[in-house]
C-alpha cells in the first residue's frame, strides 16, 4: 500500500513568517489520522498544502501518489472540510446538495440525501440559519458524498459544543467506516482525537515530533518511577522523552521499541493525552527540534 | 459551476432586473410622449421645406422644438446621469462581492474543493457576471439613445462630458471597467464593504478625471485658423465683444470636439484688443470691415484632427481667396501630425488630397497676407 501522504522537507512561508518548515512525513492509508499540535504549529498550512489550496515554498509533497495541484483528477479524490466549516449562508441545504451534485462527477446523491435526513436538516433551510453543529455536518456531508479516497478535516469540531462535537465525530466515523476512506483530522484537543483516531501525528513548531499507530505508541511508552538517578544510568534501548527529578526519586517517560526491560522501578502505561502532552512539552522546550527524530514512521 | 455562479448571483440579478425594468418603463413612457411631440412639430415644418426657420411659421415651430428641448432638459440630464451611474452600481454590488465575499466568509475553500478547477471557477464567475454587467448597461444605453434621439438631433453635443459617457459603446466600456475594478478590489482587500466603498471612490474619480484631463488628449488636437474676409465671415455667427477682445462663433467641422475658442488675434498672434478697433462697436458692425485694419495675417498654426480649436484672425487678406475646391476656408494640418493616427481617423480616405491641398493654400495665403501687409 502506498502512502496517502508523503512529504519531504516541506516548507511554506508567508513573506518572512515561516508557517511550516522542514516537515517530513509519511502517512499510511486506511487510518483515521489525528494531527495534533498547539495553535500555530502549522497544521492548517500542512492540510491546505495537502489539498492543493496552497503551494509549498520548499520541499515536495505527494497526496495519493500525485502532487496536489488543484487539477480535477486530484480534487475528485480528496475531500476537504476547511476550518470553521464554511458554507454559503444564502444557499439552502438543498442548494448545497445540488452544488455538490453539479460540481462532482462522483457525487453520491443517495448518501447525501440519507445523511441530511438522518441529521434532521430541513432541505429548504438557509445554511446561514443553521447552528454551528448543523453547519459542520452539512460541510461534512458535502465532502463525504463526493466519495473521496482521502478526507481532510481541519479542526472541524473546534467551535462546537461537546454534544455537537460527539455527534459530528460519530457521523464522521460512520461514513468513513462504510466507505473505507482514509481521514486526516486536525485538532488541538487530544480528547477529540482519542475517541476516533487510530494513528497519531504530533506536530510542534512545524516539525513532526511523533507519528505512529495509537495502540503501538501506547504500548511503547512507559512512565517509570525509580530512585533518583541520571538518564545515562538507564539501560540502553530506552529513549528518554522526559525526565523529572525530586530529591529522592526520578520520573522518566521512556520509549522502548520492544518489551520494557525489567528493573528496579515501577512502570505504568501512559494515557494518550499524557503521552501527547509530554511530546508537546518536549517540542516546545528550547533546543528541542533538530535532535528529535521523527519516530514511528509508517511501515 | 455555472449553476453555482448563477445561484449565488440570483438575488443580485433579480434586483438588477427589477431596477432595469423600472428604468425601461420610465424611458418608454416619457420617451414615447416626447417622440410624439417631436414628430408632430417636425411634421408641421417639413412640408414647408422650412425647418431651418426661414419663414415665420417655421420659426414658430422652431420655437416649439426649443420649448420641447427645454421642458425635457432636467430629465435628459438625470437619465444620462443614470446611465453613467449604472456601471458604478454594477461595480459595487456585482463586482466587489464576487470574490471578496467568498474570501471574507471562507466559502472559496468549499468551492475550490469540489471537482472544479480554480481556473474554471474564476472564469465562469467573471464570465457570467461580467457579461450580465455589460448586457444590462447595453440595454440601458440603447434605451437612452432612443429616448434622447430627438434632443440629440435638436442640439446635442456628443462631446459633452455626460453625453459622451452615456452613448454608444462608452458605457459598456465603463461597465466592464467598473466590474473589473470592483472584483479586483474585492480580491485584494478580501473584504466586501471596503471594496465597495473604494470602487465607488475610484470610479467617480475616473469619471471626473477622464473627460477633464485625459479624453481631450487622446487624439492630438487640431487648430483651425480663419482669416477674416468676405469669403469666410459669412460662415461666422455671433460676433461679440467682451471688455477687451472680440469673439466669433466659428464653424466647427463635423464630428469635431471644440475644446477651446480663443478671441480674435491679429497677424502677430496677439489678441485684437477692443481699444484698437473701436469702430467695431457696437458689435453690430460688419466685422470684416472694422477688423481688417489690423496689420497682418499670421501663418497657420498646427492643426490636428478630432479636437478643434477654431480661431479667427484679422488681416488685410482681401487679395486672397480660398481655393475653390476647398470645402472649408482653412483647415490645415501640421507636418508633425500627419502621422498614422491622423491618417487612420481621417474619414473618408479620398478626402485626403483635398485636405492637403487646403494646407498648401493656407500656407501660401499666409505668405501672401504677410507680403501684402509689408507694403506701406
Which of A49, A54, A70, A78 to probe the B interface (max B CBs under 10 A)? Answer: A70
Q: Does A55 touch chain B (CB under 8 A)?
A: no
DSSP B246: E
B211 and B286 belong to one structural domain: no
Q: Which of A75, A146, A149 to mutate to test the interface with B (most CBs of B within 10 A)?
A: A75
Boundary of a domain, candidates B151, B185, B217: B217
Nearest to B196 by CA among B15, B4, B204: B204
Q: Looking at beta carbons, which residues of chain B come within 8 Å of A53?
A: 109, 112-113
Instruction: Report whether pLDDT(B355) > 50.
Output: no
CA B120/CA B374 separation, integer angstroms: 76
Chain Cα centroid distance, residue B249: 18
Cα of first residue to Cα of last residue in chain B, in angstroms, is 86
The per-residue pLDDT for B174 is 95
Q: Is B109 touching A (CB cutoff 8 A)?
A: yes
Q: Are residues B92 and B241 in the same domain?
A: no
Measured in angstroms, the CA of A293 and the nearest CA of chain B are apart by 34
Does A86 contact B114 at a Cβ distance shorter than 8 Å? no
B29: pLDDT strictly greater than 70: yes
Query: Across A28-148, where does the E strand assignment appear?
Result: 32-36, 58-63, 78-81
What residues of chain A lie within 8 A of the CB of B15, using their CB? Answer: none
pLDDT given at position B231: 66
Q: What is the pLDDT of residue B283?
A: 56
Residue B189 sits in the same domain as residue B267? no
Q: Which residue has the cell 478630432?
A: B306
Q: Grid coordinates in use for A88?
A: 454559503
Identify whether residues B164 and B272 lie together within a single domain: no
B158-193 residue pLDDT tens? 788 888 889 889 999 999 999 999 999 999 999 999
Least confident of B64-78, B254-268, B357-371: B357-371
CA distances from B116 to A102, B5, B39, B278, B317 (A): 10, 12, 56, 82, 77
Nearest to B280 by CA among B242, B309, B316: B242
Nearest CA in chain B to A82: B109
**pLDDT of the residue at B47:** 58
pLDDT in tens, A242-272: 888 888 888 999 888 878 887 788 888 888 8
CATH of domain A5-204: 3.40.50.300
Of B7, B110, B118, the CB nearest to A82: B110
Q: In what order do the strands lie in the sheet with A221-227?
A: A238-245, A249-256, A221-227, A266-269
Chain B environment of A51 (Cβ under 8 Å): 113
CA B279 centroid distance within chain: 38
pLDDT given at position A2: 79
Higher pLDDT, B281 or A31: A31
Which residue from A71, A78, A89 is facing B105, i.e. has the nearest CB?
A: A89
Q: Other CB atoms closer than 10 Å to residue B235's CB: what's the count?
A: 13
Q: Which stretch, A7-21, B233-247, B294-308, has highest mean pLDDT?
A: A7-21
Among B105, B112, B113, select the one facing A79 at the smallest CB separation.
B113
Chain B hits for A75, CB-CB cut-off 8 Å, are 113-117
Chain A partners of B116 at a C-beta cutoff of 8 Å? Answer: 72, 75, 103
| Domain stop point among B190, B217, B244 | B217
The pLDDT assigned to B54 comes to 61
Q: In this complex, is the C-beta atom of A141 within 8 Å of any C-beta atom belonging to chain B? A: no
pLDDT value of residue B284: 56
Do B148 and B125 fall within a single domain? yes
Q: Where are the beta strands (DSSP E) in chain A?
A: 5-14, 17-27, 32-36, 58-63, 78-81, 150-154, 182-187, 199-204, 207-213, 221-227, 238-245, 249-256, 266-269
Rounded Cα distance between B5 and B188, Å, is: 20
In which band, very low, low, confident or very high, does the pLDDT at B71 lie, cut at 50, 70 and 90? confident
Residue in chain B lying closest to A87 (CA): B107
Between CA A196 and CA A203 the distance in angstroms is 18
Which among A53, A87, A105 has CB closest to B107? A87
- The distance of B38 to chain A (nearest Cα, Å) reads 49
pLDDT in tens, B255-273: 777 777 777 777 667 777 7
Q: Write out the residue range of the structural domain in which residue B300 sits.
A: 221-374
Nearest CA in chain B to A80: B113
| Position with higher pLDDT, B148 vs B222 | B148
For range A56-84, the mean pLDDT:
88
Cell 455555472 belongs to B2
Judge if B140 and B282 occupy the same domain: no
Counting one residue from chain A and one from chain B, the pairs whose CB atoms sit within 8 A come to 69
Mean pLDDT of chain B, nearest integer: 73
Instruction: Evaluate if residue A152 carries a pLDDT over 70.
Output: yes
Cβ atoms A255, A220 nearer than 8 A: yes
- Does residue B322 share a domain with residue B265? yes
Q: Enter the pTM of the model.
A: 0.78
Number of domains within chain B: 2
Q: For residue B11, what are the CA distances in angstroms to A72, B5, B8, B82, B200?
A: 29, 11, 7, 22, 21
Which range has the worst mean pLDDT, B48-57, B130-139, B157-166? Answer: B48-57
Please give the ipTM for the structure prediction: 0.85
| pLDDT over threshold 80, residue A199 | yes
Please compute Rg for chain B using Cα positions. Answer: 27
Place of cell 495553535: A39
Least confident of A153-157, A242-246, B359-363: B359-363
Q: Is the pLDDT of residue B137 over 80?
A: yes
In chain B, the residue whose alpha carbon lies closest to the alpha carbon of A145 is: B114
Q: Is B4 on the interface with A (CB under 8 A)?
A: yes
Q: Is B110–A142 a contact, with Cβ atoms under 8 angstroms apart?
A: yes
Average pLDDT score over residue span B51-66: 68
Q: Are A86 and B1 a contacting pair at CB < 8 A?
A: no
Q: Which of A71, A103, A105 sits opposite B1 (nearest CB)?
A: A103
Closest CB to A103: pick one of B8, B116, B118.
Answer: B116
A83/B106 CB distance under 8 A: yes
Q: What is the per-residue pLDDT for B57?
A: 67
The phi-psi region of residue A228 (left if phi > 0; otherwise alpha if psi is between -120 and 50; otherwise beta) is beta
Distance CA B167, CA B159 (A): 10
Contact yes or no for B107 and A86 at CB 8 A: yes
Task: Tell whether B118 is within 8 A of chain A (Cβ).
Answer: yes
C-alpha span between B362 and A230 (Å, rounded): 110
- The set of cell numbers assigned to B43 is 411634421
CB contact under 8 A, A87 and B110: yes
| pLDDT 10s digits, A228-237 | 888 888 887 7
Q: Same domain, yes or no, for B106 and B21?
A: yes
| Contact of A6 with A68, CB cutoff 8 Å | no
- What are the structural domain ranges in chain A? 5-204, 215-284
Query: Mean pLDDT: which of A15-19, A118-122, A173-177, B181-185 is highest?
Result: B181-185
What residues does A78 pair with on adjacent strands?
Answer: A150
Nine-digit cell string for B263: 478671441
Q: How confident is the model at residue B120 (pLDDT cuts 50, 70, 90)?
A: very high
Q: Which of A80, A86, A103 sits opposite B105 (nearest CB)?
A: A86
Given a cut of 70, whether residue A56 has pLDDT beyond it is yes
Q: Is the pLDDT of residue A115 over 50?
A: yes
B192 touches chain A (CB under 8 A): no
Interface test with B, best of A86, A93, A138 (most B CBs within 10 A): A86
> How far apart are the CA of A185 and the nearest CA of chain B, in angstroms?
16
- Between the alpha carbon of residue B342 and those of residues B65, B352, B355, the distances in Å are 37, 10, 12
Q: Is B303 on the interface with A (CB under 8 A)?
A: no
Amino acid at each position: 500500500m502506498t502512502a496517502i501522504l508523503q512529504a519531504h522537507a516541506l516548507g511554506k512561508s508567508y513573506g518572512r513568517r515561516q508557517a511550516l518548515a522542514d516537515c517530513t512525513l509519511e502517512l499510511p492509508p486506511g487510518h483515521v489520522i489525528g494531527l495534533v499540535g498547539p495553535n500555530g504549529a502549522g497544521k492548517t498550512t500542512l492540510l491546505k498544502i495537502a489539498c492543493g489550496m496552497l503551494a509549498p515554498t520548499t520541499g515536495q509533497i505527494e497526496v495519493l501518489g500525485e502532487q496536489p495541484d488543484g487539477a480535477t483528477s486530484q480534487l475528485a479524490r480528496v475531500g476537504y472540510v476547511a476550518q470553521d466549516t464554511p458554507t454559503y449562508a444564502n444557499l439552502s441545504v438543498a442548494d448545497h446538495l445540488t452544488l455538490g451534485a453539479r460540481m462532482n462527477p462522483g457525487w453520491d446523491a443517495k448518501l447525501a440525501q440519507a445523511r441530511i435526513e438522518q441529521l434532521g436538516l430541513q432541505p429548504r433551510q438557509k445554511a446561514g440559519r443553521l447552528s454551528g453543529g448543523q453547519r459542520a455536518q452539512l460541510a461534512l456531508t458535502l465532502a463525504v458524498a463526493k466519495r473521496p479516497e482521502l478526507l481532510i478535516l481541519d479542526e472541524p469540531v473546534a467551535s462546537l459544543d461537546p454534544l455537537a462535537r460527539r455527534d459530528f465525530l460519530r457521523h464522521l466515523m460512520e461514513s468513513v467506516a462504510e466507505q473505507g476512506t482514509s481521514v486526516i483530522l486536525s485538532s488541538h484537543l487530544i480528547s477529540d482525537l482519542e475517541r476516533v483516531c487510530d494513528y497519531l501525528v504530533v506536530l510542534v513548531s512545524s516539525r513532526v515530533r511523533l507519528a505512529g499507530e495509537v495502540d503501538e505508541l501506547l504500548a511503547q511508552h512507559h512512565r517509570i518511577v525509580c530512585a533518583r538517578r541520571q538518564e545515562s544510568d538507564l539501560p540502553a534501548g530506552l529513549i528518554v522523552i522526559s525526565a523529572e527529578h525530586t530529591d529522592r526519586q526520578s520520573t522518566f517517560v521512556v520509549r522502548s521499541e520492544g518489551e520494557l526491560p525489567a528493573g528496579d522501578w515501577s512502570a505504568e502505561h501512559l494515557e494518550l493525552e499524557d503521552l501527547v502532552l509530554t511530546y508537546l512539552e518536549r517540542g516546545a522546550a528550547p533546543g528541542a527540534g533538530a535532535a528529535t527524530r521523527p519516530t514511528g514512521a509508517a511501515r | 459551476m455555472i449553476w453555482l455562479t448563477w445561484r449565488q448571483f440570483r438575488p443580485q440579478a433579480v434586483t438588477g432586473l427589477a431596477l432595469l425594468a423600472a428604468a425601461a418603463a420610465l424611458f418608454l413612457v416619457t420617451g414615447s410622449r416626447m417622440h410624439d411631440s417631436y414628430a408632430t412639430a417636425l411634421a408641421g415644418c417639413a412640408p414647408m421645406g422650412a425647418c431651418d426657420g426661414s419663414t415665420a411659421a417655421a420659426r414658430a415651430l422652431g420655437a416649439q422644438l426649443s420649448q420641447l428641448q427645454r421642458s425635457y432638459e432636467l430629465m435628459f440630464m438625470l437619465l444620462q446621469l443614470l446611465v453613467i451611474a449604472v456601471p458604478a452600481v454594477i461595480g459595487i454590488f456585482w463586482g466587489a462581492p464576487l470574490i471578496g465575499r467568498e474570501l471574507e466568509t471562507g466559502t472559496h475553500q468549499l468551492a475550490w474543493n469540489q471537482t472544479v478547477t480554480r481556473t474554471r471557477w474564476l472564469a465562469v464567475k467573471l464570465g457570467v457576471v461580467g457579461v450580465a454587467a455589460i448586457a444590462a448597461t447595453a440595454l440601458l444605453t440603447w434605451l437612452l439613445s432612443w429616448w434622447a434621439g430627438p434632443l440629440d438631433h435638436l442640439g446635442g453635443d456628443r462631446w459633452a462630458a455626460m453625453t459622451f459617457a452615456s452613448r454608444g459603446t462608452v458605457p459598456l466600456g465603463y461597465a466592464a471597467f467598473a466590474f473589473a475594478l470592483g472584483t479586483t478590489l474585492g480580491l485584494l482587500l478580501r473584504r466586501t464593504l471596503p471594496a465597495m466603498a473604494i470602487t465607488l471612490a475610484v470610479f467617480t474619480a475616473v469619471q471626473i478625471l477622464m473627460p477633464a484631463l485625459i479624453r481631450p488628449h487622446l487624439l492630438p488636437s487640431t487648430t483651425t485658423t480663419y482669416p477674416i474676409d468676405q469669403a469666410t465671415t459669412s460662415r461666422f455667427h455671433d460676433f461679440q465683444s467682451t471688455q477687451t477682445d472680440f469673439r466669433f462663433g466659428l464653424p466647427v467641422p463635423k464630428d469635431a470636439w471644440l475644446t477651446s475658442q480663443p478671441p480674435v488675434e491679429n497677424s502677430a498672434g496677439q489678441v485684437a484688443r477692443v481699444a484698437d478697433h473701436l469702430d467695431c462697436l457696437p458689435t453690430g458692425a460688419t466685422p470684416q470691415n472694422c477688423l481688417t485694419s489690423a496689420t497682418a495675417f499670421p501663418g497657420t498654426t498646427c492643426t490636428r484632427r478630432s479636437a478643434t480649436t477654431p480661431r479667427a484672425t484679422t488681416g488685410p487678406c482681401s487679395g486672397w481667396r480660398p481655393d475653390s475646391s476647398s470645402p472649408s476656408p482653412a483647415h490645415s494640418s501640421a507636418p508633425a501630425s500627419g502621422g498614422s493616427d491622423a491618417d487612420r481617423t481621417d474619414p473618408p480616405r479620398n478626402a485626403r488630397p483635398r485636405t492637403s491641398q487646403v494646407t498648401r493654400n493656407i500656407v501660401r495665403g499666409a505668405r501672401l497676407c504677410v507680403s501684402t501687409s509689408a507694403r506701406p
